[in-house]
Structure formats: C-alpha cells, structure tokens
Amino acid sequence: MDVVLPCLDEAEALPWVLGRIPAGWRAIVVDNGSTDGSADLARALGAHVVHEPRRGFGAACHAGLTAATADVVCFCDCDASLDPALLPAVAGPVLDGAADLVLGRRRPVTRRAWPLHARLANLELARMVHRRTGLRLHDLGPMRAARRAALLALDLTDRRSGYPLQTVVRAADAGWRVAETDVPYRPRTGRSKVTGTWRGTWQAVRDMRVVLAERPAARPASGTAAGAGR
C-alpha cells in the first residue's frame, strides 16, 4: 500500500507522522519546496521522497499519485493533524470492493483543532457538493483512499487547493461509490499554508469555485466505473 504525504516545511511533524505509517506500507513524501530540511529528514526516516517544484497542494498530491505503484493509494496530510495508523480503516472498504473512494470525516478532538470559521466553510462546501453531485457528505477531508488506476483515469487537472474537491466531483460524475468514515482530527503541528492565511483561504475558495463550475463529465459506459467488475 502507498501513502502519499504532501509536504511543505513539516520537519517538526515528520517523525511522528512517519512513525505511525502502518507496517508494510510505503510512505511517499512529496516535498513541495521545503526550506526546513523536510526532504532529507523524511529520507533518513525511511520514506520515499519525491520532489515537486511546482507549488500547490494538488501538484504535490498528483506527483505522489504518479509516483505510486500500489493498486490502492491513500492520501494523508503531513502535519500530524491526522493519524496515519488509521489508514487501514479508511482503505478497507476500497480493498473489500465496498466503495471506490473513501474519505476520512474529520472529528476534531479539541476546538483548537478545527476553528469554527473553517468548520462552517466546510459545511457550506458540503452543501454545494450535494447540489452539484447529489452526494451527501459531511467533509472533504485530506485522508482518503482509492484505486490508483481509477484515480489517474479521472484526469484531474487542478494543482492547487481544489484538487481534493475535484477528485470527489469527478468521482461522482463517473458513478463512483463514495463513502465516509470518522477519523479524529488534532491540532496541526506548525502553521497552516491554506486556511492559516488570508491569501491561502482566498486562493482555496477561488480554486473550489472553479471546480464546482465544471460541467459534469459524461458517465463511463456500464462496467467501466472504478468499482465495476469486482
């Protein structure tokens, strides 16, 4: 199993995160231009390191997806807000053939983990996704699992903050079975690169509006969806 970990200056969190990767799974740390030695530290801790010079959360995620070789690929933030030890529970329905995409629904363990304004924004985004796709989701969290070949077939194009949303929207358009499972959400280590800044928040909102404005893609022929035939 491969775990993609987008990374931008996460040296403080890396030892805990990589120490929690399930035994036998491969950690793919995608360094997105860190200046704190994150790449060298990750390599020293046994991770496979990929360098993605183009800045953007989506750019890092997609570089990791491209570098992955496992049938099922998981994604997880690298800031210690989510516990990689929980990934088997997230990937389980995909491995069992019960779902095509599983999202970890974040459940904050403290108020500091997920500020009120961020939770409200996420709730509104979930409503917008329901209007656009019909999916009833509570969260578009960064911990997720799906089959690598199917993800690549979605032809994802966003390389910034809209990447996770575009994954869900295009998966829904393709007729995927999308499920959620609860995961504890802790205060992140270090400063957020997105919602922690006004510029990051504004960019994320703009990216997501672009994704939601996309016209629904034509559904694949019967038997070509991610979960078909299993």
How confident is the model at residue 202, as a pLDDT? 57
Q: What is the pTM of this model?
A: 0.86
Tokens at 181, concatenated: 């499972």
Distance of CA 5 to the CA centre of its chain: 9
What does the pLDDT profile of the chain (230 residues) look like in tens digits?
Answer: 999 999 999 999 999 999 999 999 999 999 999 999 999 999 999 999 999 999 999 999 999 999 999 999 999 999 999 999 999 999 999 999 999 999 999 998 887 776 776 777 778 888 888 999 999 999 888 899 999 999 999 999 999 888 999 999 999 999 999 999 999 999 888 665 555 454 555 566 677 777 777 877 655 543 345 654 34
How confident is the model at residue 199, as a pLDDT? 57
Query: What is the spatial order of strands in the sheet that 2-7 belongs to?
Result: 48-51, 26-31, 2-7, 72-75, 144-147, 101-108, 178-185
SS3 (DSSP) at 77: coil
How confident is the model at residue 85, as a pLDDT? 98
How confident is the model at residue 221, as a pLDDT? 41
Q: How far apart are CA 167 and CA 10, in angstroms?
A: 24
How confident is the model at residue 112, as a pLDDT? 75
The alpha helices in 87-142, defined as continuous H runs, are: 87-96, 116-133
Q: How far apart are CA 221 and CA 10, in angstroms?
A: 42
> What number of other Cβ atoms are within 10 A of residue 137's Cβ?
20
